């Protein structure tokens, strides 16, 4: 066989494999709304077939793909479907999924603009659009990371660098040993991953000042102590249980006047900024110094994808930039690795760009507002049937109690087993509750009705 014929064969085999993957993916997604949301015990048990020793010899890629499809696809949770309401997950917009495939084919290492100019440019443009739609200050710089945990870590690394630099200490060069003490404050209801991010930065849990919160988990502005010296105040847009927002306008002013850095964990709640209807909830959030959010949750792009934003130009690169003779990161174009903890990384921003491009400002607002309306619908229907809603449903999170803790747990188990939809549990201020988190582009009002009926059925049987 000559070189041209070999290349043609290779192209044919690659193309048919990719078409096969596309067909299997489309079949999977097409059937998702009709199958049980949770995988069957038999499908999960079937995964044991994969437990073999490392193959000694190659396998035809077509067989590799068919094995994955036959064994793993049935064992997936239907989080990409319209009736998964657990945690805060979200699905994947078709444009974002397709862009993800394309970007995977490009296989760009999105570290350096001079080496991968196409994706670096797309990411820079997407960041500009995000700053716009999220109503952040025009000076804001950002970074694409894996999720809100790393977005908090990245923004807080910039915060740590900046507050210590103002105190005359270079944390990048000298570390934390012997550094001026930094006071770090968070609400009692901060997400545990925020505390983890702080711990990774050397701010141990025992040294964090916890601010009192109200019945919805909002930091109480009157609980803010007098601030002095290097200080970082961490606030939250969207409590994981209630969806509530901290009072940014009341806290950002005094905190920043005292020289503190204000950071906001807005893993899903920051997206309220993209809707004029919802932005009253996040009023004043733009007064902070840095923000973290997820794209894989409410923006509905594929896992994993988070976003860190920092108001002060240069503060993010001050904490993140690296230089080495062999790395061509200098130049006029924004080089992504100057902003992220990683050097090498995939071009996550491509899917974010595609989601923003496909929805536009009005499509984004419609998706967020629809999910909030659907959350209110869940609450109204369940309250109407006599069950207690434990939170003020201000955003897309609903907490419902079915009576005693064991009764609520039985209902959650019955809902998951039934498979029409999937909801998880929590304990909110001592009360056991079922959590309903509405954050998928794919959820229709009919899906909400089907799910309400399934929950009420489970409650009647198990309550």
Ligand X SMILES: Cc1ncc(COP(=O)(O)O)c(C=O)c1O
Nearer of residues 217 and 336 to ligand X, judged by Cβ: 217
Task: Check residue 141 for interaction with ligand X (CB under 6 A).
Answer: no
Q: Which residues pair with residue 265 across a beta bridge?
A: 236, 292
Among 69-77, 145-153, 202-210, 278-286, the segment contacting ligand X (CB under 6 A): 145-153
Cα–Cα distance for residue pair 336/150, rounded to 1 Å: 15
Task: Check residue 240 for interaction with ligand X (CB under 6 A).
Answer: yes
Nearer of residues 32 and 150 to ligand X, judged by Cβ: 150
Question: Among 231, 162, 175, which Cα is nearest to 202's?
Answer: 175
**Cβ atoms of 350 and 93 closer than 8 Å:** no
Owner of token pair 């319209």? 82
Task: Check residue 148 for interaction with ligand X (CB under 6 A).
Answer: yes
Among 262-270, 361-369, 377-385, 422-430, the segment contacting ligand X (CB under 6 A): 262-270
Q: Give the binding-site size for ligand X (rule: CB under 6 A).
A: 15
Cα–Cα distance for residue pair 356/295, rounded to 1 Å: 11
Task: Check residue 462 for interaction with ligand X (CB under 6 A).
Answer: no
Among 111-119, 233-241, 400-408, 449-457, the segment contacting ligand X (CB under 6 A): 233-241
Task: Check residue 147 for interaction with ligand X (CB under 6 A).
Answer: yes
Distance of closest approach, residue 89 Cβ to ligand X, in angstroms: 9
Task: Check residue 294 for interaction with ligand X (CB under 6 A).
Answer: yes
Nearer of residues 120 and 240 to ligand X, judged by Cβ: 240
Question: How far does Cα 60 stand from its chain's mean position?
Answer: 36
Distance of closest approach, residue 165 Cβ to ligand X, in angstroms: 26
Distance of closest approach, residue 439 Cβ to ligand X, in angstroms: 10
Task: Check residue 347 for interaction with ligand X (CB under 6 A).
Answer: no
Nearer of residues 274 and 414 to ligand X, judged by Cβ: 274
Q: By CB under 6 A, name the one of 306, 336, 349, 425 that touches ligand X.
A: 306
Distance of closest approach, residue 21 Cβ to ligand X, in angstroms: 26
Task: Check residue 300 for interaction with ligand X (CB under 6 A).
Answer: no
Nearer of residues 116 and 152 to ligand X, judged by Cβ: 152
Nearer of residues 38 and 191 to ligand X, judged by Cβ: 191
Nearer of residues 436 and 454 to ligand X, judged by Cβ: 436
- What contacts 24+ positions apart, CB below 8 Å, involve 205-211? 208/184, 209/183, 209/184, 209/185, 210/185, 210/186, 211/185, 211/186, 211/187
Task: Check residue 149 for interaction with ligand X (CB under 6 A).
Answer: yes
Task: Check residue 133 for interaction with ligand X (CB under 6 A).
Answer: no
Distance of closest approach, residue 26 Cβ to ligand X, in angstroms: 27
Q: By CB under 6 A, name the one of 80, 267, 308, 393 that touches ligand X.
A: 267
Three-state secondary structure readout of the chain: CCHHHHHHHHHHHHHHHHHHHHHHHHHHHHHCCCCCCCCCHHHHHHHHHHCCCCCCCCCCHHHHHHHHHHHHHHHCCCCCCCCECCCCCCCCCHHHHHHHHHHHHHCCCCCCCCCCHHHHHHHHHHHHHHHHHCCCCCCCEEEEECCHHHHHHHHHHHHHHHHHHHCCCCHHHHCCCCCCCCEEEEECCCCHHHHHHHHHCCCCHHHEEEECECCCCCECHHHCCCCCCCEEEEEEECCCCCCCECCHHHHHHHHHHCCCEEEEECCCHHHHHHCCCCCCCCCCHHHCCEEEEECCCCCCCCCCCEEEEECCCCHHHHHHCCCCCCCCCCCCCCCHHHCCCCCCCCCCHHHHHHHHHHHHHHHHHHHHHHHHHHHHHHHHHHHHCCCEECCCCCCCEEEEECCCHHHHHHHHHHHHHHCCCECEEEEECCEEEEEEECCCCCCCHHHHHHHHHHHHHHHHHHC
Q: By CB under 6 A, name the one of 123, 141, 189, 265 that touches ligand X.
A: 265
Q: By CB under 6 A, name the one of 88, 103, 411, 442 that touches ligand X.
A: 88
| Pattern 172-191, ligand X, x by CB under 6 A | -------------------x
The residues in 198-227 that bind ligand X, with binding defined as CB under 6 A, are: none
Among 109-117, 178-186, 260-268, 308-316, the segment contacting ligand X (CB under 6 A): 260-268
Distance of closest approach, residue 10 Cβ to ligand X, in angstroms: 38
Nearer of residues 267 and 301 to ligand X, judged by Cβ: 267
CB-based closest residue to ligand X? 147
Burial of 114 (0-12, 13-18, 19+ CB in 10 A): middle
Distance of closest approach, residue 277 Cβ to ligand X, in angstroms: 21
Task: Check residue 375 for interaction with ligand X (CB under 6 A).
Answer: no
Distance of closest approach, residue 292 Cβ to ligand X, in angstroms: 7
Nearer of residues 123 and 246 to ligand X, judged by Cβ: 246
Can you give the binding site for ligand X, defined by CB under 6 A? 88, 147-149, 191, 193-194, 236, 238, 240, 265, 267-268, 294, 306
């Amino acid at each position: 066989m000559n070189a041209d014929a070999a290349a043609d064969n290779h192209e044919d085999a690659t193309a048919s494999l990719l078409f096969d993957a596309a067909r299997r993916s489309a079949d999977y997604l097409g059937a998702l709304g009709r199958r049980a949301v949770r995988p069957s015990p038999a499908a999960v048990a079937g995964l044991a077939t994969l437990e073999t020793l490392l193959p000694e010899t190659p396998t035809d890629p077509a067989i590799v793909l068919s094995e994955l499809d036959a064994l793993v696809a049935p064992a997936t949770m239907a989080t990409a479907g319209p009736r998964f309401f657990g945690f805060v997950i979200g699905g994947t917009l078709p444009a974002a999924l397709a862009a993800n495939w394309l970007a995977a084919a490009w296989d760009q290492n999105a570290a350096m603009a001079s080496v991968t100019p196409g994706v670096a440019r797309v990411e820079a443009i997407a960041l500009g659009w995000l700053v716009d739609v999220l109503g952040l200050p025009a000076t804001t710089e950002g970074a694409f990371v894996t999720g809100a945990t790393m977005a908090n870590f990245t923004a807080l690394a910039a915060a740590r660098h900046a507050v210590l630099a103002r105190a005359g200490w270079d944390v990048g060069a000298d570390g934390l040993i012997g550094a001026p003490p930094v006071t770090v404050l968070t609400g009692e209801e901060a997400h545990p991953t925020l505390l983890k991010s702080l711990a990774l930065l050397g701010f141990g849990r025992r040294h964090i000042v916890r601010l009192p919160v109200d019945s919805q988990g909002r930091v109480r502005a009157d609980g803010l102590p007098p601030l002095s010296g290097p200080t970082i105040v961490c606030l939250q847009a969207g409590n994981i249980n209630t969806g509530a927002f901290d009072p940014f306008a009341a806290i950002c002013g005094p905190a920043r006047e005292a020289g503190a850095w204000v950071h906001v964990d807005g893993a899903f709640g920051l997206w309220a900024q993209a809707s004029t209807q919802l932005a009253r909830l996040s009023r004043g959030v733009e007064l902070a110094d840095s923000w973290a959010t997820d794209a894989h949750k409410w923006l509905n792009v594929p896992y994993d994808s988070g976003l860190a934003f920092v108001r002060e130009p240069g503060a993010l690169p001050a904490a993140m930039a690296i230089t080495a003779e062999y790395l061509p990161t200098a130049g006029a174009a924004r080089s992504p690795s100057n902003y992220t903890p990683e050097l090498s990384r995939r071009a996550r921003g491509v899917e974010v760009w595609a989601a923003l491009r496909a929805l536009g400002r009005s499509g984004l607002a419609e998706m967020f507002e629809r999910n909030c309306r659907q959350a209110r619908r869940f609450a109204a229907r369940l309250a109407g049937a006599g069950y207690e809603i434990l939170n003020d449903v201000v955003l897309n999170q609903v907490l419902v109690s079915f009576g005693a803790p064991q009764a609520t747990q039985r209902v959650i188990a019955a809902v998951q087993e039934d498979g029409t939809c999937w909801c998880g549990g929590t304990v909110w201020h001592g009360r056991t509750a079922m959590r309903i988190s509405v954050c998928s582009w794919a959820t229709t009002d009919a899906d909400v009705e089907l799910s309400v009926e399934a929950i009420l059925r489970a409650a009647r049987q198990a309550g």
